Amino acid sequence: MDASLIAAFIAAGVTLIGSIVSFVANRRAVRTEILKLEIELARRLTEKLYDKRLNVYPIAFEITDDLRGKYLFRSNVSNSRDVLKGIKDKLMEWHKKNGLILSDETIEAYKHLRWNLENVVESKDELTEERLKPIWDGKISFRRAMRKDLNLLYAEETQKGKISSKV
């Protein structure tokens, strides 16, 4: 075989290998950039959601404040049904305005609390500690879920650090 032909094949092979390496490197760089853009977009949306939750969750905490043990389980419960109905109505009105920003867990906890409030308010049974305990439990779950929602930004930061170290 002619030496110039061998040199041409070697040059073509080197060029081909260089092109493949360049293609793989560029493709990886594009994937990394797309991942960074997706993370940044998710971050912006999370910040907006977080700001909205920071504005409205304190209202729900305030509404459910009278469901604390010392108020809920007090011995004078003659007007408690009216108080509980008022809390239920305020909570439902709050949910109408803010239901879209709740996480699935918070929605389930809200439904559980509302259902327990409705059962007690509509019941003609005596308001005993045993009858009020599901409301107490529902309030705790609802507040815990809202606090967890507010930790979302922190959890995202942790995940962002994990992804950055992999890229």
Average pLDDT, whole number, for the chain?
A: 86
Per-residue CA distances from 156 to 90, 145, 165 (Å)? 32, 17, 14
As given in the structure block, the two tokens for residue 7 are 């040199």
Return the minimum-mean-pLDDT range out of 11-20, 60-69, 137-146: 60-69
Asked if 68 contacts 87 with a C-beta cutoff of 8 angstroms, the reply is: no
44/124: higher pLDDT: 44
Separation of CA 152 from chain center: 5
Q: Quick check: 93 pLDDT over 90?
A: yes
**pTM here?**
0.70
3-state DSSP helix/strand/coil % of the chain, to nearest 5: 90, 0, 10
For the stretch 119-157, pLDDT in tens is 988 888 877 788 888 999 999 999 999 999 988 666 555
Of all residues in the chain, the percent with pLDDT exceeding 70 is 86
Percentage of the chain beyond pLDDT 90 is: 54
What does the block give as tokens for 23?
């293609």
- Enumerate the domain spans of the chain: 44-166
8 A C-beta contact, residue 103 and residue 149: yes
